[in-house]
Amino acid sequence: MENTENKVRYSDEELEEFRQIILKKLEDARNDLAMLTEAFTNSGENSTNDTAPTFKVLEEGANVMSKEENSRLATRQAKFIASLEAALERIDNKTYGICRETGKLISKERLRSVPHATLSIEAKKRLQKLR
The whole-model pTM stands at: 0.77
pLDDT digits (tens, 9 = 90+) for 1-57: 455 557 899 999 999 999 999 999 999 999 999 988 887 777 445 544 445 555 555
List pLDDT tens digits, range 77-91.
999 999 999 999 999
- Are 19 and 85 a contacting pair, CB within 8 Å? no
40 vs 67: CA distance, rounded Å:
4
